[in-house]
Amino acid sequence: MWLPLLGLILGVSLGLLSDIQIPQLYSNYLSIAVLAALDTLFGGIRAYLQQIYDDKVFISGFFFNIALAAGLAFLGVHLGVDLYLAAVFAFGVRLFQNIAVIRRILLTKWSDRGKVSEKKFQE
């Protein structure tokens, strides 16, 4: 159960302590990767709340999205097209949508629970 949390802590400390320097040019890819990771994470949470969650989809999506976003940005830099903007836009929109869906599901759940407890109280 605590394994994922351990992984998170390990990852954060690894990221903070590692001495790797990346050139200014590639900082775009990094931000895209962050966005992709966030998007997939919230997508996973949404899927779990909608009971359509699947391990394979989540994990493959997580890594694939990061790679795709970075690859797209890379391609954009080499083609002279700001493709990373497309990625930022797509992931940003989806991020907001996912969070909105999560919020709505949580709200319905919360109000349902309130009704249930009310019913119980009435009974």
Partner 1 sequence: MAKKMNEENKNKGRYILYSLVFLVLGFIFAFSYRTLGKDSGETAPSPTFQEEEQYRADLIVQKERNKELADEIRSKQAEIREFEQSFLRSEENHAELVNEAKDLRLLLGVIPAVGPGVRVTLKDGDYDPVEQNPNDYIVHESHVLRVVNELKISGAQGISINGQRISSNSYIKCTGPVITIDGRTFPAPFVVEAIGDPEILSPSLNLTGGVIDSLVHDNIVVTLEQLKELKLPALRDES
51 touches partner 1 by CB under 8 A: no
Tokens of 54: 């699947």
Cα 41 to Cα 12, 75, 120, distances in angstroms: 16, 25, 36
Binding of partner 1 at residue 62 (CB under 8 A)? Answer: yes
Instruction: State how far the Cα of 8 lies from the Cα of 17, in Å rounded to an integer.
Output: 14
Interaction mask 4-43, partner 1, x per CB under 8 A: xxxxxxxxxxxxx-x-x-x-x--x--xx-xx--x---x--
SS3 80: coil
Residue 69 beta carbon to partner 1: minimum distance, rounded to whole angstroms:
11
> Which of 42, 45, 55, 105 is the binder for partner 1 (CB under 8 A)?
55
Torsion of the alpha carbons at 15, 36, 89 and 20, rounded to the nearest 10: 30
Residues that bind partner 1 (CB under 8 A): 1, 3-16, 18, 20, 22, 24, 27, 30-31, 33-34, 37, 41, 55, 58-59, 62-63, 66
